Amino acid sequence: MNKNNAIFWIENGEIEQAKLTILQNINIQLNKGEFVYLIGRTGTGKSSLLKVLYGDLPLKKGDGVVAGYNLKKLKRKDIPFLRRKLGVVFQDFQLLDDRTVYKNLEFVMRSTGWGKKKDILKRANDVLSLVSLDHKGKKYPHQLSGGEQQRVAIARALVNSPEFIIADEPTGNLDPETSKEIMAVLHAIAKEGTSILMATHDLSIMEQFPSKTLKVENKTIIEVNPVNKFDPFKQVSFD
């Protein structure tokens, strides 16, 4: 395992929840600027891995580093600083319905240390431009389509110029055409140097945008070929 270019790595890792071993013998890494899928049946441990990466669960055994933070030595006071280096995009958007798009972005920025109003407004405009929502800043979430709301969620994940984005089923609530648009945005972000780990069940998206793939099975994580290279005569089950 060459860790020199890794944004995160876990070696001989083990994850527990409620004293039950969820994943073991984890040996994975994500390099800078790399786009990687995370697949596996529901309940196999995908969410547990993501929680370890953003500090919601401890790494029980083994060693690991995320964005320069040692997962075995991570303290509660370190978690907000770790999360400033990460962006997280969820399936259900998790926008604040009573605030405009600008105010949603401002809320995140102020909670992560931004102070000056003009700096906040400039960064908000910059990230909205990146996701092609330049003129939607004064809209409320309910005035946007599902795809536009997910673009706002991606913009929110980008406000602190993260080294690493965790995308948890980001196309799960979207129609196929909108999903394709969101994937194009995420891949463009990866090409600019931001690493992305995307948990998904969407086989059609993976076929259209093939990339390195990690699969959770038998309580561990293995690397498999991109979907378009799978043997078509073998059944591929994600859920």
The domain tally of the chain equals 1
Is position 56 within any domain?
yes
Per mean pLDDT, which range of 110-114, 119-123, 159-163, 187-191 is the poorest?
Answer: 110-114
Q: So what's the pLDDT on residue 228?
A: 57
Convert the pLDDT of each residue in 15-32 to its tens digit: 998 889 999 999 999 998
Q: So what's the pLDDT on residue 203?
A: 87
Is position 205 within any domain?
yes
CATH code, 24: 3.40.50.300
In which band, very low, low, confident or very high, does the pLDDT at 238 lie, cut at 50, 70 and 90?
very low
Rg (CA), the chain: 18
Is position 105 within any domain?
no
Which residues are CB-contacts of 213 (< 8 A; sequence separation ≥ 6)? 36, 37, 38, 39, 206, 223, 224, 225, 226, 227
Quote the distance between the C-alpha of residue 89 and its chain's center: 5
Is position 185 within any domain?
no
Q: Does the pLDDT of residue 234 top 70, yes or no?
A: no
SS3 annotation, the chain: CCCCCEEEEEEEEEEEECCEEEEEEEEEEEECCCEEEEEECCCCCHHHHHHHHCCCCCCCEEEEEECCEECCCCCHHHHHHHHHCEEEEECCCCCCCCCCHHHHHHHHHHHCCCCCHHHHHHHHHHHHHHCCCCCCCCCCHHHCCHHHHHHHHHHHHHCCCCCEEEEECCCCCCCHHHHHHHHHHHHHHHHCCCEEEEECCCHHHHHHCCCEEEEEECCEEEEECCHHHCCCCCCCCCC
Is position 125 within any domain?
no
Q: Does the pLDDT of residue 161 top 60, yes or no?
A: yes
Is position 79 within any domain?
yes
0.85 exceeded by pTM: yes
Is position 236 within any domain?
no
Is position 4 within any domain?
yes
State which residues form the domain around 5: 1-85+164-173+194-225
